[in-house]
């Protein structure tokens, strides 16, 4: 008899995001296994069609989420499932009516403040819902420990491009929503200061006109991948509030050498393969980029590409499967 798995998320799938990306990959993997039946319950997804979303300011970011989904639709989805896999249980699924007699797995993606976690612990104490917890990075560990004393680290993953090679394109790429923490402001300053023959490209959600920068506003996934494959160096300029920067892996997996700010989440993902500059420091960023002129960029990229093995889709989904088998 097949195991029925319900992937549950508050995030709208009308928009691109790291959590949505991971859920899509998870669904793709599980659907390839005849032992599983898989459905997704999330705003603007295919299996259960509902919207009722609003923009929710959270963790220095703005996300489109469903606060109160259709109760009948949610009940039908939960009744169908043998296992309910909740992604980001603290945003704002606390308001969703979840029965106690289900098999729950929670995956914590974000890095949250201690004050916010205390509030969530209070809510969940009265909900009295048991779950098996996982977290995607050390920065999300405190979230998972709020619900369980035992939690498993399973990092975000990608489907590795085995035929990938370094892109020789002379271009710098920025990817990120128009939010302060994504630090597009630093990218603009860099484009004005740096005097070399590199192009500046930006994928964002704001259709603004910026001198020296070629802008791509809300491209499709296919268009985004094409831009990545035609870019040479990806600049991850985040200043804070990142738990796991999946775009770092996507860029490397598309042939981009990746440069990142020296925040904890970037160091966790790239480790000793990373090339770092001082957080939000234009002078440091320019110095790092200038030094690359003397380096073999292909060798630097190859070191980062070899790091991808630990984030392989199949390898990490097997860890989730071992948890599913506990029920």
CATH number at residue 79: 3.40.50.2000
> Is residue 176 a contact partner of residue 182, using CB atoms and an 8 Å limit?
yes
Q: Where are the alpha helices (DSSP H) in 101-179?
A: 114-127, 141-147
- Looking at the fold, whether 231 and 319 belong to one and the same domain comes out as no
Q: Per the structure block, which two tokens stand in for 5?
A: 């798995």
The pLDDT assigned to 22 comes to 95
In a domain? residue 41: yes
- Looking at the fold, whether 124 and 210 belong to one and the same domain comes out as no
The pLDDT assigned to 152 comes to 95
More confident site: 270 or 44: 270
The pLDDT assigned to 242 comes to 74
In a domain? residue 166: no
Question: How far is the C-alpha of 175 from the C-alpha of 249, rounded, in Å?
Answer: 13
Provide the sign of the torsion angle of the four alpha carbons 181, 184, 189, 191, taken in this order: positive
How confident is the prediction for the chain on average, in pLDDT?
A: 88
- Looking at the fold, whether 319 and 297 belong to one and the same domain comes out as no
Question: How far is the C-alpha of 83 from the C-alpha of 85, rounded, in Å?
Answer: 6
- Looking at the fold, whether 111 and 253 belong to one and the same domain comes out as no
The pLDDT assigned to 94 comes to 54
The pLDDT assigned to 110 comes to 76
Q: How confident is the model at residue 115 (pLDDT cuts 50, 70, 90)?
A: low
pLDDT surpasses 90 at 69: no
Q: How far is CA 279 from the centre of its chain?
A: 20
The pLDDT assigned to 226 comes to 95
The pLDDT assigned to 244 comes to 86
pLDDT surpasses 60 at 167: yes
> Is residue 68 a contact partner of residue 93, using CB atoms and an 8 Å limit?
no
Q: How confident is the model at residue 114 (pLDDT cuts 50, 70, 90)?
A: low
In a domain? residue 164: no
- Looking at the fold, whether 195 and 316 belong to one and the same domain comes out as no
| Stated pTM of the model | 0.89
pLDDT surpasses 70 at 301: yes
3-state secondary structure of 5: strand
Q: In this prediction, what percent of the chain has a pLDDT beyond 70?
A: 88
Q: Calculate mean pLDDT across residues 165-172.
A: 96
Q: Calculate mean pLDDT across residues 126-145.
A: 80
pLDDT tens for residues 208-237? Answer: 788 899 999 988 889 999 999 999 999 999
- Looking at the fold, whether 242 and 282 belong to one and the same domain comes out as yes
CB proximity list for 276: less than 8 A, separation 6 or greater? 259, 260, 261, 262, 266, 267, 288
- Looking at the fold, whether 226 and 318 belong to one and the same domain comes out as no
In a domain? residue 163: no
- Looking at the fold, whether 291 and 266 belong to one and the same domain comes out as yes
Residue the block writes with tokens 């009722």:
52
- Looking at the fold, whether 9 and 147 belong to one and the same domain comes out as yes
The pLDDT assigned to 54 comes to 63
pLDDT surpasses 50 at 126: no
The pLDDT assigned to 91 comes to 67
Contacts 24+ apart (CB under 8 A), 80-83: 80/4, 80/6, 80/39, 81/4, 81/5, 81/6, 81/39, 82/3, 82/4, 82/5, 82/327, 83/3, 83/4, 83/5, 83/6, 83/324, 83/327
More confident site: 110 or 249: 249
In a domain? residue 8: yes
pLDDT tens for residues 178-206? Answer: 788 899 999 999 999 997 889 999 999 87
Q: How confident is the model at residue 240 (pLDDT cuts 50, 70, 90)?
A: confident
**267-296 burial code (b ≥16 CB/10 A, e <16):** ebbbeebbbbbebbebeebeebbeeeeeee
In a domain? residue 78: yes
In a domain? residue 99: yes
Domain that holds residue 207: 171-310
Question: How far is the C-alpha of 225 from the C-alpha of 203, rounded, in Å?
Answer: 11
Q: Calculate mean pLDDT across residues 261-277.
A: 95
Question: How far is the C-alpha of 246 from the C-alpha of 19, rounded, in Å?
Answer: 9
Residue 179, Cβ neighbours under 10 Å: how many? Answer: 17
In the DSSP assignment, the letter for residue 272 is G
Number of structural domains in the chain:
2
The pLDDT assigned to 163 comes to 95
The pLDDT assigned to 113 comes to 57
Among 79-88, 102-111, 153-162, the range scoring the smallest mean pLDDT is 102-111
Q: Calculate mean pLDDT across residues 131-148.
A: 84
Question: How far is the C-alpha of 216 from the C-alpha of 202, rounded, in Å?
Answer: 6
- CA distances for 243 relative to 72, 136, 320, angstroms: 34, 8, 19
- Looking at the fold, whether 14 and 149 belong to one and the same domain comes out as yes
- Looking at the fold, whether 304 and 246 belong to one and the same domain comes out as yes
In a domain? residue 165: no
- CA distances for 96 relative to 34, 66, 101, 205, angstroms: 30, 9, 15, 29
- DSSP β-bridge partners for residue 130: none
- Looking at the fold, whether 287 and 148 belong to one and the same domain comes out as no
């Amino acid at each position: 008899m097949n195991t029925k798995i319900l992937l549950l998320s508050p995030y709208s799938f009308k928009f691109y995001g790291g959590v949505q990306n991971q859920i899509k990959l998870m669904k793709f993997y599980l659907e390839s296994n005849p032992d599983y039946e898989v459905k997704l319950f999330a705003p603007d997804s295919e299996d259960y069609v509902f919207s009722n979303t609003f923009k929710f300011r959270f963790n220095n970011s703005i996300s489109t989420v469903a606060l109160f989904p259709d109760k009948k639709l949610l009940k039908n989805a939960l009744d169908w499932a043998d296992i309910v896999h909740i992604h980001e249980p603290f945003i704002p699924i606390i308001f969703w009516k979840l029965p106690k007699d289900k098999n729950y797995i929670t995956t914590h993606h974000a890095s949250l403040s201690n004050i916010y976690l205390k509030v969530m612990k209070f809510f969940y104490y009265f909900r009295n819902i048991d779950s098996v917890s996982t977290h995607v990075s050390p920065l999300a560990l405190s979230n998972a420990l709020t619900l369980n004393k035992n939690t498993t680290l399973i990092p975000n993953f990608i489907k590795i491009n085995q035929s990938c090679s370094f892109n020789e394109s002379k271009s710098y790429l920025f990817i990120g929503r128009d939010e302060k923490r994504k630090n597009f402001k630093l990218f603009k300053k860099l484009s004005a200061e740096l005097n070399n023959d590199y192009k500046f490209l930006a994928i964002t959600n704001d259709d603004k006109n910026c001198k020296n920068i070629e802008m791509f506003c809300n491209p499709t996934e296919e268009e985004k991948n094409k831009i990545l494959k035609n870019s040479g160096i990806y600049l991850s300029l985040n200043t804070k509030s990142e738990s796991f920067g999946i775009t770092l892996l996507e860029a490397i997996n598309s042939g981009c050498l990746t440069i990142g700010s020296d925040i904890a989440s970037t160091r966790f993902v790239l480790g000793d393969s990373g090339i770092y500059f001082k957080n939000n420091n234009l002078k440091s960023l320019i110095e790092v980029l200038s030094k690359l002129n003397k380096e073999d960029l292909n060798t630097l990229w190859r070191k980062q590409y070899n790091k991808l093995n630990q984030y392989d889709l199949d390898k990490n989904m097997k860890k989730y499967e071992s948890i599913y088998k506990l029920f």
